[in-house]
Structure 1
């Protein structure tokens, strides 16, 4: 990596400027950490050895490089870590109560709040790149790499080390100022900027997130078995959702926010500063029957620029079939649900047909 850092005496001022530029670009908080993550290696290895990553082979494919940013980008000595809030604007009242109410409406299609707007990868990467270029304008050429959930780096330990928050018992990052409804992104740099101190943990004896998890995927404080997590099942899993878990998925068709909805710290959740995360396609109010009727062309068109598009139409229908099957079990004899499912019973995809057949059987049971 090329390295032309300013004089060391300028670095504290440079760090303050980075934080100011970050705020101007829409980040809610920007902090700086060193990149020594040796403390996280044992936990990562144990999690992988237990198979808790499921089909997410990318979690294991780089070995311990994930905990060694300087091996990923030689010359790296610091990480600039930024937080961007995503709670959509335009809705008044208690957002958590609204989301819980939708979970109890059998026909509502529940999409994780973070996924209702524009793909966060694109938004954060663009803003981080602008921040990196502002830094370049100030100091001249330097070595850096921008990423958000897109490189083999343990982002949450970096964010925790930088003082953006602490790891909650559900393993998500928590901030006293903003709960957990935010994205994080990083810039690895070869500038020896002053680092920020970490915060302490503030969960205390609370284990609301553990108790509320529909599939009991949170095995204990800080221990998540992704194979049982609804977000994994509806997003990462490529094949059939295990039958014993399908009834527990309820009407969650993309992701799951239950642990966040139960967390007391999310009473401090902040609305997004950028319009990119405003809801699109009515995903905060949509019904499953309407979404299940989308053909592939409509799905691709409507989900253009959305994180949802990456699962593809087939898995979209798989997820909705499970949700409709659970709705059918609650609303015996609902002709609209049965008709929607029967319309997909002969779908070309074996995966879709399997889940539709299961859903129809729920109606008859």
Structure 2
């Protein structure tokens, strides 16, 4: 007797197996420290190529040429990996235990953005993602690839499609459970997985994140122009800080949390309980005077395994000198004068600016007379004329 297969029965069995895998993945994600989990189809955001092209044509990426270079792969997940069918997005809460805005009022602090006060999240999240992706590969037999911010993947809109939250008017992903404080990770897979329900935007009429920006870096809600962003200038920019952005930097020496920290949705968030994502007190409470005294080796030791280390000591000192110039504290003058002879023109140039903010005209003129004639860099010499 010939057995007649029941295709509906097979489909039901496959769905049951698939659902079991998803439940196991979700549970494993939670045990690994992820507070958000969702799935998006690889083609969930067909609008991304056009949005990316519009931003690039507007020049909002400043001199981050890698965004232009990776445009084609960044716009569509299948352009990065043709076999991808589903994308698992996860989020890890790194919420601070205090309001970062409070630290902007103390000029003696070297203010580091919340995300950089801890171990580099790329290393923490990627290890956990590999664990989760390995489980999916073993259970489903599907291929997997993991990404944490370093590949041309538009994590925030994909996380929105996967139901983790929504992109706020400050362009950062917002969550009802974590506010603005979520690290994102992506697992691309060849498996066809059931999609989560996308999260609707819930910013309403609120514009607090736009209004607080000290440099008006948002040309419109949901749009960010890096050419006016303090986070960009203090982290990505390789040259001198443009003159018009030095005063607004205040005591920010790495990143800017203003638009994240002011968001009303943060009131529903809680501080992270993940020890690897908690702030190092030595970095959170770093004194500007101590940072100005760091040698290159001391800088690398102090910021070991954190995002700040990737900046390099010269650009970090550049930022600290801006903070010193904004501090109004003449006690920084000896450190500033010492840095006038630093090997990096970035440091020498900003030391001149800081000196001119704190020293009286006679002191500044005496230093100019001692250094300008032997200064080989024209951009550094020009700082005496600003």
- Relative to the length of structure 2, the TM-score reads 0.87
The equivalences for 1:138-217 within 5 A come to: 138-139=139-140, 141-217=141-217
The corresponding residue for 1:337 is 332
1:43 Cα deviation after fit: 1.4
SS in 1 for 2:239: coil
Distance 1:56 1:339 in 2: 35
Distance (whole Å) between structure 1 residues aligned to residue 337 and residue 181 of structure 2: 38
Report the counterpart of residue 17 of structure 1 in structure 2. 24
Q: Give the SS at the match of 2:202.
A: coil
- In the aligned structure 2, how far is the partner of 1:138 from the partner of 1:65? 29
User: Which has the higher mean CA deviation after the structures are superposed, 55-64 or 111-120?
Assistant: 55-64
Q: Which is bigger in relative contact order (C-alpha 8 A, separation at least 6)?
A: 1
The runs of at least 4 consecutive aligned structure 1 residues that moved more than 6 Å come to: none
Q: Secondary structure at the match of 1:54?
A: coil
For residue 49 of structure 1, what is the aligned residue in structure 2? 57
Equivalent in the alignment of 2:319? 319
Q: Which has the higher helix share?
A: 2
How far the C-alpha of 1:221 sits from its partner, in A, is: 0.4
CA distance in 1, matches of 2:88, 2:47: 19
Question: In the alignment, what sits opposite 1:349?
Answer: 344
In the alignment, structure 2 segments of 5+ residues that lack a partner are: 1-12, 361-386
Q: CA deviation at 1:295?
A: 0.3
In the TM superposition, 1:291-306 aligns within 5 A as: 291-306=291-306
Q: Do 2:84 and 2:189's aligned partners in 1 also have CA atoms closer than 8 Å?
A: yes
Q: Say whether 1:252 aligns with 2:247.
A: no
Q: Partner of 2:229 in structure 1?
A: 229
Deviation digits for residues 301-331 of structure 1, max 9, x if unmatched? 1222111111100101000011101113xx4
Could you state the TM-score of these two structures normalised by the residue count of structure 1? 0.92
| TM superposition shift of 1:35 | 1.5
Structure 2 residue 301 is the aligned partner of structure 1 residue 308: no
CA–CA distance in 1 between the matches of 2:168 and 2:354?
A: 35
1:317 aligned counterpart, secondary structure: helix
Partner of 1:362: 357
Q: Equivalents in 2 of 1:258, 1:169: separation in Å?
A: 13
Name the structure 1 match of 2:69.
Answer: 61
Larger Rg belongs to: 2
| Count of aligned pairs between the two proteins | 347
The whole-number CA distance in structure 2 between the counterparts of 1:65 and 1:113 is 30
SS at match of 2:88: strand
Question: RMSD in angstroms over aligned alpha carbons?
Answer: 1.4
Kept after mapping to 2: 8 A contact 1:210/1:219: no
Looking at structure 1, the residues matched to 273 and 102 of structure 2 have their Cα atoms a distance apart, in angstroms, of 26
CA contact (8 A) 1:171 1:223 kept: yes
Deviations 1:65-100 (A, max 9, x none): 212111211210100000001125xx5xxx11xx22
